[in-house]
């Protein structure tokens, strides 16, 4: 164990791109206890008059989540949206085939739109292109967005929702490249259907933005040809292509685990290159943006999920209990988006409550923050503005799975309007500390406002409802002297250095 040195230089003219706040989005699927027992529990002591858990809403607001994807996920490929609207007594209980549970439909489109409004978030709505298609998609859009005077808008009004939900962002299906997906399609089949669905939806509401399905993960055998074929059909009709990726540490190799964002970086760069190839091939002036609308750590709960009995309502599923090293990786994944803010415009941490989530609840009991809550909150709250490209000189090291891993991972956000500069940093190394020197002479009169640190001697430490073992402190030692910031980054630690201009 020793102390290495890293250097950075930051200048306000080195702009990557404007950060779309929607990169701090999340996801709620009708899966496990995400909805029932998560956001919705009418009998809970904190329940609002609509049945939503206020304690969960408070934590979601703490995260400042700008957009939430709904209702799936794998679930949407077999979902009839009509089952979730209208009087509760008339809603059918259905076999939900993706996760093999019983769906009571107590929460549907209107209830979720109401919850999102209370959470200060927009809705990213997904349509079913598995068992359904153009007709159901255009009808749902009419139901949600058309003011009045048509069949589906008047139906919404009859259900008690006079004002349209005005949902801007729509996903054209989910993971349609996956053989596990209900209604799985080839790239040609999906591309044709997505394009025709997009055209019909734009006739209903030309103001919407549309997301086409990219590959379900980087290891799919059809990646990236799936993206190329899909975009060859849809390029001029959609605004985004989606990316999905989850990481795990099943071999218990922490050094390699904390370097997995090197793979994420390559994934993003490959999708960008594929988009630009289709742009060139079509001689288009349009730039395709990326929606990384499923991402997280997911591996802790797989053994428990394999033992679940089917056809119950809201059983515990995918309830990963996250540890400290998971939080470090989540911070690194968020920085990967910031470093490509010119192209990655939306992202959704999957998911928000109970199901591979930063927020956990006990039915009838408390809600609490998992370890990954903190880096997600830090970047969402402090990462608003433009992303800057720092010049970084860092030590490198090797692991069992990777060579030339940068010890310092970092991203920089500048908010000119509020005159604030935020440096996010991760020391990936499990043993070596870092002394970090940052040249900020381009930011005259900026001084340290706060240095937040998330660190723990045990990379496997977890939080429970009774014990917050992993939580940040503000005792970081960053200081400014003659235009340079110096700070100590202990081994395996997450840092947020906030600076502001002093008059």
Tell me the average pLDDT across 32-37: 98
Tell me the average pLDDT across 354-361: 98
pLDDT score, position 2 = 87
Interval 324-354: pLDDT, tens: 999 999 999 999 999 999 999 999 999 999 9
Interval 368-423: pLDDT, tens: 999 999 999 999 999 999 999 999 999 999 999 999 999 999 999 999 999 999 99
Interval 230-260: pLDDT, tens: 999 999 999 999 999 999 998 889 999 999 9
Interval 166-225: pLDDT, tens: 999 999 999 999 999 999 999 999 999 999 999 999 999 999 999 999 999 999 999 999
Check: pTM over 0.95? Answer yes or no: yes
Residue 163: exposure state from Cβ atoms within 10 A (0-12, 13-18, ≥19): exposed
CA distance 480 to 440: 9
Interval 439-492: pLDDT, tens: 999 999 999 999 999 999 999 999 999 999 999 999 999 999 999 999 999 999
pLDDT score, position 295 = 98
For residue 1, pLDDT over 80 is answered with: no
CA distance 281 to 349: 33
CA distance 479 to 88: 58
Distance of CA 148 to the CA centre of its chain: 33
Q: Which long-range contacts (CB under 8 A, 24 or more apart) does 15-18 make?
A: 15/386, 15/387, 15/388, 15/389, 16/338, 16/339, 16/340, 16/341, 16/342, 16/386, 16/387, 16/388, 16/389, 17/341, 17/342, 17/343, 17/386, 17/387, 18/341, 18/385, 18/386, 18/387
For residue 306, pLDDT over 90 is answered with: no
User: Token pair for residue 306?
Assistant: 């394999």
Within 33-99, strands assigned E span 67-70, 94-96
For residue 503, pLDDT over 80 is answered with: no
Domains and CATH numbers, the chain: 3-12+388-501 (2.60.40.1180), 20-382 (3.20.20.80)
CA distance 398 to 390: 23
pLDDT score, position 336 = 98
Is residue 127 a contact partner of residue 173, using CB atoms and an 8 Å limit? yes
For residue 155, pLDDT over 80 is answered with: yes
pLDDT score, position 94 = 97
Q: Torsion over CA of 443, 444, 445 and 447, rounded to 10 degrees? A: 30
pLDDT score, position 319 = 97
**Residue for token digits 């809403």?**
57
Q: Which of 107, 108, 103, 100 is CA-nearest to residue 92? A: 103
Interval 119-152: pLDDT, tens: 999 999 999 999 999 999 999 999 999 999 999 9
pLDDT score, position 251 = 85
First to last CA, the chain: 42
pLDDT averaged over the chain? 97
Interval 290-303: pLDDT, tens: 999 999 999 999 88
Other C-beta atoms lying within 10 Å of the C-beta of residue 411:
26
CA distance 9 to 195: 45
Q: Would you place residue 425 in the very low, low, confident or very high pLDDT band (cuts 50, 70, 90)?
A: very high
**Residue positions annotated with a catalytic role:** 175, 294
Residue 179: exposure state from Cβ atoms within 10 A (0-12, 13-18, ≥19): exposed
pLDDT score, position 462 = 98
Is residue 420 a contact partner of residue 498, using CB atoms and an 8 Å limit? yes
Share of the chain above pLDDT 90, in %: 97
Interval 70-121: pLDDT, tens: 999 999 999 999 999 999 999 999 999 999 999 999 999 999 999 999 999 9
Is residue 313 a contact partner of residue 102, using CB atoms and an 8 Å limit? yes
Is residue 104 a contact partner of residue 118, using CB atoms and an 8 Å limit? no
Greatest pairwise CA separation for the chain in angstroms: 71
Number of H helices, E strands in the chain: 11, 25
Q: What angle do CA 323, 267, 356 make, to 5 degrees?
A: 30
Length of the chain: 503
Residues of 290-311 as b/e, b for ≥16 C-beta within 10 angstroms?
A: bbbbbbbbbebbeeeeeeeeee
CA distance 86 to 379: 38
Q: Would you place residue 494 in the very low, low, confident or very high pLDDT band (cuts 50, 70, 90)?
A: very high
For residue 317, pLDDT over 80 is answered with: yes
């Amino acid at each position: 164990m020793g102390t290495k040195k890293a250097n950075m230089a930051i200048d306000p003219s080195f702009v990557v791109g404007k950060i779309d706040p929607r990169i701090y989005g999340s996801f709620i699927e009708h899966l496990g206890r995400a909805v029932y027992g998560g956001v919705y529990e009418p009998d809970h002591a904190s329940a609002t008059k609509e049945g939503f858990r206020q304690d969960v809403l408070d934590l979601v607001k703490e995260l400042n989540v700008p957009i939430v994807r709904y209702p799936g996920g794998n679930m949407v490929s077999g979902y009839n949206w009509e089952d979730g609207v209208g009087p509760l007594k008339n809603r059918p209980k259905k076999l939900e085939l993706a996760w093999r549970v019983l769906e009571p439909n107590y929460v549907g489109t209107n209830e979720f739109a109401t919850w999102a409004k209370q959470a200060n978030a927009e809705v990213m709505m997904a349509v079913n292109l598995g068992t359904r298609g153009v007709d159901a998609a255009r009808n749902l859009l009419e139901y949600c967005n058309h003011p009045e005077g048509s069949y589906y808008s008047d139906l919404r009004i009859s259900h008690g929702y006079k004002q349209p939900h005005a949902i801007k962002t729509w996903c054209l299906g989910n993971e349609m490249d996956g053989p596990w997906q209900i209604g799985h399609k080839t790239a040609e089949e999906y591309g044709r259907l997505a394009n025709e669905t997009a055209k019909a939806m734009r006739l209903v509401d030309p103001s919407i933005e549309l997301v086409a399905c990219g590959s379900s993960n980087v290891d799919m055998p059809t990646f990236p040809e799936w993206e190329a074929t899909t975009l060859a059909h849809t390029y001029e009709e959609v605004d985004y292509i989606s990316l999905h990726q989850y990481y795990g540490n099943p071999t218990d190799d922490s050094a390699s685990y904390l370097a997995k964002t090197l793979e994420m970086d390559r994934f993003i760069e490959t999708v960008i290159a594929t988009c630009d190839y289709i742009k060139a091939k079509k001689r288009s002036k349009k730039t395709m943006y990326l929606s990384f609308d499923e991402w997280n750590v997911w591996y802790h709960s797989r053994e428990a999920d394999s033992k679940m009995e089917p056809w119950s309502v809201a059983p515990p599923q995918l309830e990963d209990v996250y540890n400290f090293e998971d939080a470090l990786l989540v911070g690194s994944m968020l920085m990967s988006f910031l470093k490509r803010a010119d192209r990655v415009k939306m992202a959704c941490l999957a998911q928000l409550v109970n199901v591979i989530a930063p927020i956990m609840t006990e039915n009838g009991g408390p809600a609490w923050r998992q370890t990954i809550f903190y880096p997600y909150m830090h970047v969402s709250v402090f990462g608003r503005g433009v992303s800057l490209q720092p010049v970084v000189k860092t030590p490198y090291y090797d692991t069992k799975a990777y060579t030339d891993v940068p010890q310092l991972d970092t991203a920089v956000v500048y908010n000119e309007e509020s005159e604030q500069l935020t440096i996010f940093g991760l020391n990936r190394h499990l043993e070596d500390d870092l002394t970090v020197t940052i040249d900020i002479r381009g930011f005259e009169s900026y001084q340290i406002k706060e240095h937040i640190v998330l660190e723990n001697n045990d990379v496997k430490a977890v939080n429970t409802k009774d014990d917050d073992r992993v939580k940040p402190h503000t005792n970081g030692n960053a200081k400014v002297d003659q235009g340079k910031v110096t700070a100590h980054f202990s081994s395996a630690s997450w840092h947020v250095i906030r600076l502001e201009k002093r008059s």
